[in-house]
């Protein structure tokens, strides 16, 4: 008989091929779908996150875990109401105007998404106005901006200014990060928080959500 | 689909360890100012960038003042420390390539100040201009035309015309696929991105850049797999991907970066191209490298070993910020000059091989990425790569990957290199994946196509 | 007036060039964490300071966070790079000594994080605490009592009690006279300031510090003539005073800094004490040195030669600022570790003497200040200094000055060291001035008194 | 017969011992005292300054030149009216609160003084209030502040603030310098100018005076 622990283990192991078989057995055995999600799939990701942070898991392994979770979800989702699916919050991410670096942003999105947030990815080289119109459209809780160049970091400030002008600044928390960005820069560009890397960004989002 | 190599490298230009050392190479390059790069001495190469600021019409005067200040103070320090010569790299920021007039203005400042320092101090200096590869500003990238292509070539052309000595670029063909290869630690995708797409793109791009150089009194210097292999190194350093994977990716980059030389580059290859030692072994051209003295730009596991066979020694980049002693670029210049002095002092005594081995010994056993830069490993894998030359770039890239994997495995087994307990598993996995790669690049592409995110990538831009 | 040496150094501890090399010395020092300094390996020593900020009750939490961040990230990098051990220096800023509770709080953070890194990574690390010499806050300075003296000793005491491994200071006795000696390039005044006033003061001061160390499980490490000879180096680097003068001042500092060892110091001597090689030759104790990797703190003409006989290799200091790769102290740690790796790799192969000579060759011929740090010159002048030991500190200081002048002259004449065309004139001038100095320190002081600015200086504070 | 050129040369050579003899001859020969000053002594210092800036003269040599000039002045001054003696301006210098570095400050004073300014030296570790009361007392044209530590540089800001509070900020130009000080810092602390070293400080003062 399959167990919820086995589901978790599949997620931890990144067993993309094996997870659906086990989830199916649990469904057939009338395990409550929300239990499969929370005590199986999500529980697995909750083991993965600290292992990544401590360096015991690599990103590709985390990505396989996330993919495994999604494979499991595919089977369980049709069995639950849309309203049962909770999200920790909605986060919008983009690399600022003029900046093309996306690998760090993509890692960040993967980490945030697999920790339970809904993510809207605006991509790279995102103009100030684009941030504002996207905030109006998607109404995220948190907006994350990244910059990897000393000459694009200032765009964070103009983006926040644009948010003020567009009347959406106080509707979101703004967090920033990237190689040239120091914690002090938060005050300078009038953001709300700073994350050093993908792992700490998740913790930052959790703190931000708690304060909303 | 056929490789269009103008020049082919069927055998190693340097095959013996006794000929493979910093400061000299079979094909040295002489600059207008009389520096002979690869002619015996290691020269410093300084690169620098703006502090945090916007770049636009309103701030360009300020930017120009900052660059003027950096170049004059750095060259003054080089003269005070009696450097036998200096290479300056102007690696543009995107704004400088997007608005070529901006880039050209700064480039001219550097040319003028290099001339002024020659007059004032008798200092020999030379300029490398490295515009940005703007093509990835289109998403998906447009590789062979369009406004970004035109704009980028305008800057290349104007800087060459104005008297820059060397042109370089960190080209990005295939990067849109490689980013995904890195986060998934997928060696096949890495080989596709660099060994197929990157090579195809560099043939096209470098044919153009070489044409520009030929039209002016300018030399094509080389390319760097920076956005590929250095990104891998940074991710490995953060613990995001296996170090052994990053080490293999480094070697996978070799045939890709070699394309620049097939198309006519003469070196010195780009500083951040850690694949440089392989290029030097294969082509005999001089290379620039960076290591511990580039730590302000990025940390690395190859701080010393990177210097083993360099002809130019670089700081990679530093922004203009004030440190306790002075501005950071001047500090970088001083540190580079002392490093070069030490290497050159050894050469003066005929002890350069001993110094080379110490530079290698000090790092190579501690990380697979350092191990694959140790001169003897470089020569062995380079020999495997050139053996595959008749079969084209994909075959060369597979040979590079296989060679790296086998060398690292043997190094771990024999205790020559320390590894994470998970590295051997990853090396085995890479071996198995490589075994599935067909010899024909087109067939390989077709095989991989289902796994590619075709929203980020346009096959026809690579003639596929 | 009699010198109160607890220990006298009548002969060299290291007299042969074949025994004089980095990493090892006759009297190594073992730390609580098990590092053996001077026992074979060269270890890095990292020092750091706050970025531009006020320090007061309101900002101390921020300061504590910054120090916590610096120490944790630097030690993490040291562990990642597998450093065999690390020395951390906490050189306080004046506010931390003026309010000893501030200094103690930061010191405790460093102790705690060193312990945490040992637990987490198995990293060996050790702490040197260097309070400020507050006594010059009174003008003229009050040297043997008063609130600044009490405050300063409070910090020494508390840090020793809390578990710091080493105590150091850059003491300033005589500096009020020496500043004037420097801008006038007056060698007699320099000799008076260091060879008489500095020695007298250090006997008094170090007797106290050694007592504090004895009362706790702590070691007295050494002093630096930083405010004297390093100021000279900086002024010479700016072209303000002759390089040959700065070189002689460096050697003049030796007997002064030796007093710390006469009073019981065991090393490693302070990093910024470039007189260290002399102290090592004379005492056999380990020394810390700094060179090219300290360029963010100050430029110098001795970037490599400074390393020849170091046992610890330091960055001097760097403020917490963000560079492209990360925070500057972490960058400093990485660079130091690579430098140490290279030196230690040579030792592992038995090539440390060859490396030492290359470090020396690369700088020594280019500046008199580098020349007087080359190991053979150091041994020759050190031999002259210890010969004068029976005649006391002034005689030793005169011997140091004479030795330096003669060595530099001979070096210039034989072409071993390049000099400015004006240097020989200055060397001759110094020789003539030294010839007028009487042997008796009291008599010397009386002779010089009319030239001293007595508003800046109180003779009785030196028992004169 | 002694010439004004010889006086200049004495100054350039730092011939402290010889200058008075020549000046005396010129006085006896009824050379106008203001000529001895302007075409002899000051002309000499005007040769010295650029030689120092280009590195051909050392500080101790410049100091000897300055001393030589002063020796010459001793003889000429009694012959002229106080009102004939002009000063280029009055400059007040101090190292800020908490900072003990004075050698750079002293060099600066020597350079500024020998270029023709009157200097008031406040010394080191100068409290904010001390600057203000000294400005009220001496009414300088320019106030120079130096700092050599990252933890004392902020005192420049509080000193300027104190000047504002004391109502003297707009009565002086404020210039700053020192190792941790960058040109950008001028705006941050609301000063008027920045000098990199002693030589450029003189030029800065000249520019400042021209703009007053
Ligand atoms: Zn690069
Ligand atoms: Zn570069
Ligand atoms: Zn010091």
Neighbors of chain C by Cβ distance (3+ pairs < 8 Å): A, B, D
Contact between A151 and B240 using a beta-carbon 8 Å cutoff: no
Query: Are A186 and A196 in contact, with CB atoms under 8 Å apart?
Result: no
Q: Which ligand is nearest to the Cα of residue C225, counting in written order?
A: 3
Question: Are the beta carbons of C289 and C271 closer than 8 angstroms?
Answer: yes
d(CA C166, CA B365): 33
Name the minimum distance, in Å, from the CA of C115 to any CA of chain A. Answer: 19
Question: Nearest ligand to the C-alpha of residue B170?
Answer: 1
The reply to whether A179 touches chain C by the CB within 8 Å rule is: yes
Six token digits for residue B380: 């062995």
Q: Do D180 and B322 touch (CB under 8 A)?
A: yes
pLDDT in tens, C352-409: 999 999 999 999 999 999 999 999 999 999 999 999 999 999 999 999 999 999 999 9
Question: Are D100 and C239 in contact (CB < 8 Å)?
Answer: no
CA torsion B138→B144→B149→B154, rounded to 10°?
Answer: 180
Distance (Å) from the alpha carbon of D115 to chain B's nearest alpha carbon: 26
Q: Dihedral, CA atoms, B289, B293, B298, B301, nearest 10 degrees?
A: 80
How close is the Cα of A74 to the center of ligand 2, in Å? 46
d(CA C88, CA C318): 13
Mean pLDDT of D78-99: 83
DSSP state of C270: P
How far is the C-alpha of B291 from the C-alpha of D200, rounded, in Å? Answer: 36
D90-211 maps to which CATH number?
Answer: 3.40.50.280
**CA-to-CA distance for C260 and B243, rounded, in angstroms?**
47
| The two structure tokens encoding residue D60 | 């101790």
C291 pLDDT more than 60? yes
Alpha-carbon distance A120 to B449, whole Å? 26
Beta-ladder partners of B319? B49
Using CA of residue C434, residue C435, residue C441, residue C442, what is the dihedral sign? negative
The residue that leads in pLDDT, C445 or D147, is: C445
Q: Is the pLDDT of residue C338 over 60?
A: yes
The gap from C-alpha C365 to its chain's centroid, in whole angstroms, comes to 23
Task: Please indicate whether residue A126 or residue B345 has the higher confidence score (pLDDT).
Answer: B345
Distances (CA, A) of C400 to B122, C383, C425: 37, 9, 19
Q: At what angle do helices B393-413 and B441-448 cross, to 10 degrees?
A: 70
Residue numbers in C near A182 (CB within 8 A): 322
Q: What's the pLDDT tens digit per position in C415-461?
A: 999 988 899 999 999 999 999 999 999 999 999 999 999 888 899 99
Interface test with B, best of A100, A109, A156 (most B CBs within 10 A): A100
Domain boundary assignment for chain A: 4-84, 90-211
Distance (Å) from the C-alpha of residue B49 to the closest C-alpha of chain A? Answer: 8
Per-residue pLDDT, C4: 66
Number of alpha carbons in the 13 Å side-chain half-sphere of residue C189:
19
Stretch D26-51: mean pLDDT? 92
What confidence score (pLDDT) does residue A85 get? 73
**CA-closest candidate to residue A145, choices A189, A184, A111:** A189
Using the 8-state DSSP alphabet, how is residue C449 labeled? Answer: G
* Neighbouring C-beta atoms of residue A30, cutoff 10 Å: 7
How confident is the model at residue C273, as a pLDDT?
97
D98 touches chain C (CB under 8 A): yes
Residues C16-56 have pLDDT tens digits of 999 999 999 999 999 999 999 999 999 999 999 998 888 99
Which CATH class name applies to D4-84?
A: mainly alpha
Question: Distance (Å) from the C-alpha of residue D150 to the closest C-alpha of chain B?
Answer: 8
Q: Select from C54, C70, C319 the residue whose CB has the most chain D CBs within 10 Å, as the one to mutate to test that interface.
A: C54
- Work out how many CB contacts closer than 8 A connect A with C: 7
| Closest CA of chain A from C321, distance in Å | 9
Kindly report the nearest CA distance between residue D29 and chain C, in angstroms.
Answer: 35
Question: Does residue C295 sit at the B interface (CB-CB below 8 Å)?
Answer: yes
pLDDT tens track for B3-58 = 567 899 999 999 999 999 999 999 999 999 999 999 999 999 999 999 888 899 99
Residue of D nearest to B65 (CA): D183
**CB–CB contact D180 B324 (8 Å):** yes
Q: Which residues of chain B lie closer than 8 angstroms to A195, CB-CB?
A: none
Instruction: Answer for the pair B373, B362: CB distance below 8 angstroms, yes or no.
Output: no
Q: What chain A residue is nearest to B56 in terms of C-alpha separation?
A: A151
The C-alpha atoms of residue B44 and residue C429 are separated, in whole angstroms, by 38
Distance (angstroms) between ligand 2 centre and the Cα of B229 equals 14
| Chain B / chain D CB contacts < 8 angstroms | 7
Q: C279 is written with which tokens?
A: 């102290």
Q: Note whether B299 contacts C361, CB cutoff 8 Å.
A: no
Q: How far apart are CA D124 and CA B265, in angstroms?
A: 59
B326–chain D nearest CA distance, Å: 7
Chain-chain contact of B324 with D179 (C-beta, under 8 angstroms): yes
Alpha-carbon gap: D178 to the closest alpha carbon of chain B (Å): 10
8 Å CB contact of A154 and B54: yes
**Of the candidates C247, C283, C187, which has an alpha carbon nearest to the alpha carbon of residue C408?**
C247
Q: Do chains B and D touch (3 or more CB pairs under 8 A)?
A: yes
DSSP H stretches of helix in C81-217 = 94-98, 100-121, 146-162, 175-183, 187-191, 199-215
- Total H helices, total E strands in chain C: 17, 9
- Comparing CA positions, the residue from C88, C55, C47 lying closest to residue C298 is C47
CA C370 to ligand 3 center in whole angstroms: 18
Q: Which of A59, A110, A151 sits opposite B95 (nearest CB)?
A: A151
Residue of A nearest to B184 (CA): A60
The alpha carbon of B113 and the centre of ligand 2 are apart by a number of angstroms equal to 20
pLDDT at C1 over 50: no
- Please list every residue in chain C whose beta carbon sits closer than 8 Å to the beta carbon of residue D58: 185, 239-242, 422
Q: Which residues of A touch C324 (CB under 8 A)?
A: 150, 179-180
Ligand 2 center to B133 CA (angstroms) = 13
What spacing in Å lies between the alpha carbon of B294 and ligand 2's midpoint? 9
For the CA of C133, the nearest ligand? 3
With a threshold of 0.85, tell me whether the complex ipTM lies above it.
Answer: yes
- Whether there are 3 or more C-beta pairs closer than 8 Å between D and A is no
For residue C226, report the distance from its CA to the centre of ligand 3, in Å.
5
> How close, in Å, is residue C48 to chain B by CA atoms?
11
**In chain A, what residues touch B51 (CB-CB under 8 Å)?**
150
The DSSP H or E segment spanning D50 is helix D42-53
For the record, the structure tokens of C152 come out as 């300063």
Distance from the alpha carbon of residue B317 to the mean position of ligand 2, in angstroms: 6
B320 contacts in D (CB within 8 Å)? none
In the predicted model, what is the mean pLDDT of chain C?
96
Chains that touch A (3 or more CB pairs under 8 A): B, C
Q: Are A118 and A67 in contact (CB under 8 A)?
A: no
Calpha distance D197→D1 (Å, rounded): 41
The residue whose two tokens read 């006033």 is: C197
Task: Please tell me the distance between residue C243's alpha carbon and the centre of ligand 2 in angstroms.
Answer: 35
Residues of chain B with pLDDT under 50: 1
Task: For residues C198 and C192, give the distance between their C-alpha atoms in angstroms, rounded to a whole number.
Answer: 8
Whether C304 and C359 have beta carbons less than 8 Å apart is answered as: yes
* Other CB atoms within 10 Å distance of the CB of residue B422: 15
What per-residue confidence (pLDDT) applies to D33?
92
Cβ contact D–C (≥3 pairs, < 8 Å)? yes
User: Is it true that A4-84 and A90-211 share their CATH fold?
Assistant: no
D63 touches chain C (CB under 8 A): yes
Q: Which residue of A has its CA nearest to C69?
A: A183
3-class DSSP state for residue D129? helix
Indicate the domain borders of chain B.
17-457
Closest chain A CA to residue C326: A179
């Amino acid at each position: 008989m399959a167990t919820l622990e086995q589901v978790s283990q599949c997620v931890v192991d990144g067993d993309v091929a094996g997870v659906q078989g086990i989830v199916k057995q649990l469904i057939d055995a009338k395990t409550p779908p929300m239990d499969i999600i929370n005590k199986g799939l999500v529980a697995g990701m909750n083991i993965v996150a600290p292992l990544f942070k401590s360096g015991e898991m690599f990103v590709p392994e985390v990505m396989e875990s996330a993919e495994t979770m999604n494979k499991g979800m595919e089977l369980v989702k049709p069995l639950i109401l849309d309203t049962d699916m909770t999200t920790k919050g909605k986060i919008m991410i983009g690399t600022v105007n003029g900046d093309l670096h996306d690998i760090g942003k993509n890692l960040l999105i993967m980490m945030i998404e697999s920790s339970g947030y809904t993510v809207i990815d605006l991509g790279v080289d995102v103009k100030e106005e684009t941030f504002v119109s996207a905030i109006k459209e998607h109404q995220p809780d948190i907006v994350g901006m990244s910059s990897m160049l000393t000459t694009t970091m200032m765009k964070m400030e103009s983006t926040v200014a644009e948010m003020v002008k567009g009347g959406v600044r106080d509707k979101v928390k703004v967090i920033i990060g990237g190689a040239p960005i120091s914690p002090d820069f938060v005050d300078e560009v009038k953001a709300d928080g700073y994350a050093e890397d993908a792992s700490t960004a998740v913790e930052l989002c959790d703190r931000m959500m708690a304060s909303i | 689909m056929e490789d269009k190599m103008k020049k082919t490298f069927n055998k190693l230009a340097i095959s013996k360890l006794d000929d493979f050392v910093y400061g000299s190479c079979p094909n040295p390059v002489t600059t207008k100012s009389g520096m002979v790069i690869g002619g015996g001495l290691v020269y410093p190469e300084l690169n620098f960038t703006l502090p945090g600021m916007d770049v636009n019409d309103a701030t360009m005067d300020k930017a120009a003042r900052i660059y003027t200040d950096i170049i004059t103070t750095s060259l003054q320090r080089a003269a005070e420390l009696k450097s036998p010569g200096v290479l300056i790299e102007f690696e543009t920021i995107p704004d400088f390539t997007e608005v070529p007039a901006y880039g050209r203005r700064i480039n001219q400042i550097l040319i003028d100040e290099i001339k002024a320092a020659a007059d004032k101090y008798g200092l020999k200096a030379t300029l490398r201009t490295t515009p940005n590869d703007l093509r990835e500003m289109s998403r998906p990238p447009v590789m062979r035309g369009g406004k970004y292509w035109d704009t980028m070539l305008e800057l290349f052309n104007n800087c060459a015309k104005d008297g820059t000595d060397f042109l370089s670029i960190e080209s990005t063909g295939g990067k849109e696929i490689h980013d995904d290869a890195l986060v998934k630690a997928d060696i096949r995708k890495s080989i596709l991105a660099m060994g197929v797409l990157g090579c195809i793109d560099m043939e096209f791009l470098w044919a153009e850049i070489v044409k520009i150089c030929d039209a002016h009194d300018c030399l094509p210097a080389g390319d760097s797999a920076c956005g590929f292999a250095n990104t891998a190194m940074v991710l490995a350093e953060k613990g995001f991907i296996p170090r052994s994977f990053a080490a293999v990716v480094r070697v996978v980059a070799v045939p890709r970066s070699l394309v620049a030389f097939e198309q006519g580059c003469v070196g010195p290859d780009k500083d951040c191209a850690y694949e440089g030692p392989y290029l030097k072994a294969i082509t005999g051209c001089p290379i620039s490298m960076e290591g511990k003295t580039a730590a302000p730009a990025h940390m690395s596991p190859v701080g010393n070993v990177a210097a083993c066979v360099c002809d130019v020694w670089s700081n990679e980049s530093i922004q203009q910020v004030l440190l306790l002693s002075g501005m950071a670029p001047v500090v970088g210049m001083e540190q580079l000059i002392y490093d070069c002095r030490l290497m050159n002092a050894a050469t003066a005594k005929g002890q350069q091989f001993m110094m080379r081995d110490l530079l290698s010994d000090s790092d190579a056993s501690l990380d697979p990425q350092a191990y694959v830069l140790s001169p003897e490993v470089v020569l062995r894998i380079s020999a495997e790569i050139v053996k595959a030359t008749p079969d084209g770039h994909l075959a060369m890239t597979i040979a590079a990957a296989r060679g790296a994997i086998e060398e690292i495995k043997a190094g771990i087994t024999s205790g020559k290199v320390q590894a994470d307990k998970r590295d051997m598993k990853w090396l085995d996995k890479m071996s198995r994946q490589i075994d599935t790669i067909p010899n024909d690049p087109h067939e390989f592409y077709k095989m991989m196509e289902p796994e590619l995110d075709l929203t980020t990538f346009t096959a026809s831009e690579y003639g596929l």
